[in-house]
Amino acid sequence: MQVKIFFNYRSPYGYLASRSMFDRLASFKVEIEWLALAGWDGRSPPERAKVKVPLTRQDVKRWCLHLNIPFTPPPIETDPTLAAMVSYVAMEEGRLAEFTRVALWKEWAEGKDIGDRTTMLEISREVSLDLAKVKEVIASKMYLKRLENNWSEAQRIGVIGVPSFVVNDQIFWGNDRLDFLVRHLKDLGLGSETR
């Protein structure tokens, strides 16, 4: 069974989900299809984001207190596109979960701009990615096209926000829907979560 994960590294809810989503899915007989998104894809457009940010920050701060993790928002101009591109290097090297946790920690716990090339190279080095491959991917228009295609796929199947987890025709949107995703996977007989 396949679980499609539509993910934007700029989402604070991705930060929250990243703390457990890979471990929880590892308990099931599922294959992850990673669909990283660029820029504003999967997020509220800029004009709507201006209205949502104060409430979102309150909500995420509460979640962080609940999870006992820090919350230090990054610069407002942070662009997630580089992280999305590099996530495919991490995936190919078997380090997607680690890369995602570290990148989002740097962004939302330490307030760093993951759209900055130097920061992204530091993160890549920290999780032992092949830096030559990372630089090649960052410069590649092919990977930008891949991100565009991911957003087209999200829109085609009705994904409206991130992170979203899709199993067949069922869409689970948000870090707080992971429990529902887990229950659905159990109901499908794909294993039992032990964590």
Question: Do the beta carbons of residue 167 and residue 56 sit within 8 Å?
Answer: no
The chain-wide mean pLDDT, for the chain, equals: 95
Q: Which of 61, 50, 57, 1 is nearest to 28 (CA)?
A: 1
pTM for the predicted model, two decimal places: 0.94
Please enumerate in sequence order all residues whose Cβ is within 8 A of that of 161, keeping only pairs 6 or more positions apart, or say none: 42, 43, 173, 174
Side-chain-side CA neighbours of residue 32 (13 Å) = 22
* Total number of residues shown for the chain: 195
pLDDT attached to residue 194 = 53
Q: Write out pLDDT tens, residues 5-33.
A: 999 999 999 999 999 999 999 999 999 99
Q: Any idea which of 44-58, 79-93, 171-185 has the lowest mean pLDDT?
A: 44-58
Domain parsing of the chain, residue ranges: 2-187
Tell me the fold of 2-187.
Glutaredoxin (3.40.30)
Residue 98 has pLDDT above 90, yes or no: yes
* Chain segment 43-74, per-residue pLDDT in tens: 877 777 778 888 999 999 999 999 999 999 99
Quick one: pLDDT at residue 193? 57
* Nearest Cα residue to 175 out of 40, 76, 67: 67
